A = this chain, B = another copy of it.
Amino acid sequence: MESDLYGTTPRTTLRRHAERGSHARSDVHAILDAGLVAHVGFVLDGAPAVLPMAYARRDETVYLHGAAANRMLGLLAGGAPVAVTVTLLDGLVFARTSFRHSMNFRSVVVFGEGRDVTDPDEKRRALDAIVDHIAEGRSAELRPATPKEIAATRVIAVQIREASAKVRSGPPTHAEEDLALEVWAGEVPMRLAPGEPVPEPGLAPETPLSASIQRRIGLC
């Protein structure tokens, strides 16, 4: 049976604010599933680079995708080490001193290596997962991807072997003597909120808003 915790190495051992951290699979999965954009780090000529990407998790794999000619994905296809970080900003923490200002957030860092997904079935499942991550059930509302579309896309799998989650929530913390300072302190919650859907020009006016999109924006 698989452990409920990811193994740790020096780079995933929680140091600062260890009480905010977790190696539990369930915590790591929940944050990965709640995010929309991953920040993907890789090493190019010895220097770090970080790019935002769409993604999806299926079981213990994070899938990334992009154009077959994408340079970073080419690097990852060759098995290069990669870091996949997903962060959800939950609030701004205003304290009575600048020192104690903070943010409430949930974040995950996954460390792994890229694997080029070449099996057409896995590739198709991964691409469906990435679309369904944007709005659950979306892929079933669309025609299947064509072989040409699949060939034009590169899919990279990153197995989640080493990962850690970090969460901060709640009000600011203060040194006892600063509680006499008379200035507003507390949290301003933040959330990524959907606006009114904008149909594309040329869409037949009677086209109903798809169920997956209704769910994504909280209409049902």
Give residues in A with beta carbon < 8 Å to B. Answer: 11, 15-16, 36-37, 39-52, 54, 66-67, 69-71, 81-85, 87, 89, 91-92, 94, 96-99, 101, 103, 105, 107, 109, 111, 127-128, 131, 134-135, 138-139, 141-143, 145-146, 149, 152-153, 171-172, 179, 181-204, 207-210, 213, 216-217
Among the listed B52, B97, B107, B131, which residue makes an inter-chain contact with A143, where contact means beta carbons less than 8 Å apart?
A: B97
For A195, list chain B residues within 8 Å (CB).
91, 188-191
Q: By DSSP majority rule, is chain A's interface helix, strand, loop, or mixed? A: mixed
Shortest A150–chain B CB gap in Å is: 9
Q: Would you call A49 and B83 a contact (CB within 8 A)?
A: yes
Shortest A205–chain B CB gap in Å is: 11
Q: Would you call A105 and B16 a contact (CB within 8 A)?
A: no
Q: Would you call B197 and A98 a contact (CB within 8 A)?
A: no
- State in angstroms the CA–CA spacing of A185 and B36 once bound together: 19
Q: Would you call A141 and B183 a contact (CB within 8 A)?
A: yes
Shortest A91–chain B CB gap in Å is: 8
Q: Would you call A184 and B198 a contact (CB within 8 A)?
A: no
Give 9 A-B contacts (CB < 8 Å), ordered by A residue: A36-B92, A39-B41, A47-B83, A49-B83, A94-B138, A97-B142, A171-B200, A188-B213, A193-B193
- State in angstroms the CA–CA spacing of A143 and B71 once bound together: 49
Q: Would you call B71 and A15 a contact (CB within 8 A)?
A: yes
- State in angstroms the CA–CA spacing of A105 and B182 once bound together: 39
Among the listed B71, B105, B134, which residue makes an inter-chain contact with A101, where contact means beta carbons less than 8 Å apart?
A: B134
Q: Closest 4 CB pairs between A and B?
A: A189-B195, A39-B39, A41-B48, A41-B50
Q: Would you call B184 and A138 a contact (CB within 8 A)?
A: no
Q: Would you call A103 and B37 a contact (CB within 8 A)?
A: yes
Q: Would you call A37 and B186 a contact (CB within 8 A)?
A: no
For A15, list chain B residues within 8 Å (CB).
69, 71
